[in-house]
Amino acid sequence: MSTKTVRVLALVCSTRPGALGPLVGRWLIETITSRAAELGVELVPVTLGDLNLPFLDEEEHPSSGVYQHEHTRRWSAIVDAADGFIVVTPEYNYGMPATLKNALDYLSREWAWKPIGFVSYGNTSAGTRAVQHAKQVVTTLRLVPLGATVAIRIGDATDNGRLRPDAARDTAGIGLLDELVRVAHALRPLRERAQAGALPGPLPGSYARRLTPDDAPQVTVLQRCCWVDEAVVNDTMAIPALHESLEEVREWLATWHTTGIWLDGRLLGMVRTRRIDTDWHVGRLAVVPDLRGQGLGRWLLHTAEAAAEPACRRILLVTGTKSLRNIDLYHSEGYQSVPLASPDGTTCLTKDIFLRSR
């Protein structure tokens, strides 16, 4: 399971004055907040009425992602940043309210591959017909509806406009959150692959994207498993990648441009780059041990080289003096070893930029 924080939008849909929705929304947040903290979930309450979304007024189709109005761009940013949704909805005439349908229709890509759960309320059916109506729509947007739901029958659950305490309802609310988080983690690779900037990777089904400080846990694990071999070969434990704390990894991920290869939520390899004066520095080239020899390292090296900034005159990288496998790879790609090895047991290799472009 991913170690990343899951952001869950708790969306209250009714805009009718005096509606029960805000009360149900408060119950939901109060009930699941403690469990959310245990699961590393960020809860974001949103009331549709506060967004002031008019009926869909964009000229371009939502799939284009071209938004003319500020209210659409604001709504897009809110939804795009979320990993999953819990919708608090009434039932109006056997269906969901027009406010929810309108909010869904505004966007397209932002919804894809995210779980959505429902807390419904109503009279005869406890709002379940609104949920069935909504599920037909959300699946078209590639949202993934949960099996777990909470259905509140107004006559049985309220007293003088207040929700009666109900332990079974509280348990159902927590169960809804638990399922939402599990599905959100499972769908994360699909969400990330659909993000702008994600590129096809070297293995079938893999993709590559820039790593961020949020990826520090996965990067830390990758470094520990990859640099053990380097420590053995070079007979030293004085290798920074083996000892960096999570916070130290976060810090350099914020300053280096780091590309990672992913498959089914697993970080398979990475390389980091940055410019220093007229040198393009390439470092931390790593591939998980079980996939070495399949071209991932060479693919990452080529990706790092292709990103070199125009002002750079040469590419520079460092590896262990006894890391002969690494050195052979770099030599085969046109790198030349600097004649004198560094006193810290590493050797520097360089490649002129103009040689790369021939």
- Class of residue 311 by CB neighbours under 10 A (exposed 0-12, middle 13-18, buried 19+): exposed
- In CATH, the number for domain 6-188 is 3.40.50.360
At 160 the pLDDT is 82
Contact 114, 184 (CB under 8 A): yes
> CA-CA distance, 79 to 293, in Å (whole number)?
40
Residue bearing the bigger pLDDT, 299 or 240: 299
Ordered by start, the domain boundaries in the chain are 6-188, 200-356
Contact 298, 288 (CB under 8 A): no
- Give 212-264 pLDDT, tens digit per residue: 998 999 999 999 999 998 889 888 888 889 999 999 999 999 999 999 999 98
- Give 255-297 pLDDT, tens digit per residue: 999 999 999 889 999 999 999 999 999 999 999 999 999 999 9
> CA-CA distance, 318 to 353, in Å (whole number)?
17
pTM of this structure: 0.73
At 183 the pLDDT is 97
Going by C-alpha positions, the residue among 49, 36, 136 that lies closest to residue 95 is 136
> β-pairing, 314-320 with 336-337?
unpaired
Going by C-alpha positions, the residue among 55, 79, 80 that lies closest to residue 194 is 80
At 357 the pLDDT is 46
**Least confident stretch, 154-158, 163-167, 329-333:** 154-158
Q: Which CATH number fits domain 200-356: 1.10.1040.10, 3.40.630.30, 3.40.630.10, 3.30.930.10?
A: 3.40.630.30
Equal CATH topology for 6-188 and 200-356: no
Q: What mean pLDDT is reported for the chain?
A: 92
Both tokens assigned to 223:
């470094």
Please name the residues in contact with 267: beta carbons below 8 A apart, sequence gap of 6 or more.
Answer: 215, 218, 219, 221, 222, 260, 261, 288
At 332 the pLDDT is 95
At 32 the pLDDT is 98
- Give 56-75 pLDDT, tens digit per residue: 999 999 999 899 999 999 99
Q: Is the pLDDT score of 356 beyond 70?
A: no
At 304 the pLDDT is 96
Per-residue pLDDT, averaged over 334-357, amounts to 78
- Give 83-137 pLDDT, tens digit per residue: 999 999 999 999 999 999 999 999 999 999 999 999 999 998 999 999 999 999 9
- Give 22-43 pLDDT, tens digit per residue: 999 999 999 999 999 999 999 9
Residues in a beta bridge with 95:
92
Confidence band, pLDDT 50/70/90 cuts, at residue 14: very high
Per-residue pLDDT, averaged over 176-192, amounts to 93
Contact 201, 208 (CB under 8 A): yes
Confidence band, pLDDT 50/70/90 cuts, at residue 3: low
At 340 the pLDDT is 63
Both tokens assigned to 118:
């429902």
Q: Specify the 3-state DSSP secondary structure of 114.
A: coil
Q: What phi and psi, each to the nearest 5 degrees, are found at residue 85?
A: -140, 140
